[in-house]
Structure 1
Amino acid sequence: MSQPKPVRILLAEDDESLRNFLARALERAGYEVESCPDGESAVDCLDQPFDVLLTDIVMPGIDGIEVARIAASRQPGLRIMFITGFAAVALSARDQAPAGSKVLSKPVHLREIVAEVERMVAAA
C-alpha cells in the first residue's frame, strides 16, 4: 500500500525567528514546508507544486497579497492563508485576496495555524 502524498506548504515570512518557528511546528505536524524569507523567493518557488500558501502580508519587495495572486494564477486550487500583525492590513487583505483565502492576525497560536491548515486541506 502506498503512502499518501505529504501536504506541501509554501511559507513566506520575513521575520526569521517566526518563519523558523512556524516551519518547525508545521513539519512536526507532518507537513512538508518550503520556507522563504520574502515574496520574491516565494514566487521563485512556485515552479514546484504546493497545497497551501501561508504568507505574511507585509513584507519588503513583493507583499503577501501579490504573492497570493501570482500563486493562485499559477496553481489553481492552491489554498491560501495570510498572517499579519496589522489589523487594518487584515481588513484590506480580505478585500484584495483571492477568493477562499483565510486571514489570521498575529499573535497567532501554533495550534490555530496547524488547525486552519488541517481544515483547508480537508476541505479540498
Structure 2
Amino acid sequence: MTKILLAEDDNDMRKFLVRALQNAGYEVASFDNGRSAYHRLREEPFELLLTDIVMPEMDGIELARRATELDPDIKVMFITGFAAVALNPESNAPKDARVLSKPFHLKELVTQVKQLLAA
C-alpha cells in the first residue's frame, strides 16, 4: 500500500485530507507540524509528502527540502492558499514538487496524488 506523509497544521483540514486519502486506498500518517513529520520521515520511507507550506516549527518548504535529502525519490505536493510562495525560485522547494492551491475538491486532490505517484 502506498504510504503518504501529511503535514497540515489546520486540524479540520488534516482530518478531511486523511479521510479522503484513506478512502482512496492510501495509508496516511499525519502530523500538525513540519518538525514532527520530519522525525517520522527519518524512521520509515514514504512515497509521497503532502504538506502545507505555512506551518509552525518547520514550514513545508523546509520539510520538503529535508525530505528529499533523506530520500531523493520521495514525491512532494504542497497544499497552500499562497501558490506564489511555493513557486518562488528562491524558496529552494524541490523542483518536481506539485502545488495544489486551496480551496480544492477532494476528488481533485486524489486525482493529483494519483498522477504524481504514477509519474
| Secondary structure, aligned partner of 1:30 | coil
The residue type paired with residue 107 of structure 2 is R
In 2, the alpha carbon distance for the partners of 1:103 and 1:94 equals 16
In 1, the alpha carbon distance for the partners of 2:84 and 2:103 equals 15
Gaps of 5+ in 2: none
How many residues align structurally?
A: 118
Partner of 2:33: 38
**Greater Rg, structure 1 or structure 2?**
1
Partner of 2:20: 25
In 1, the alpha carbon distance for the partners of 2:70 and 2:33 equals 18
TM-score (norm 1): 0.90
Divergent runs of 4+, >2 A: 90-96
Moved more, 104-113 or 15-24: 104-113
1:105-116 → structure 2 map (5 Å cutoff): 105-116=101-112
Gaps of 5+ in 1: 1-5
- Sequence identity of aligned pairs in percent? 56
- Residue of 82, 85, 89 corresponding to 2:81: 85
CA RMSD of aligned residues (A): 1.5
TM-score (norm 2): 0.93
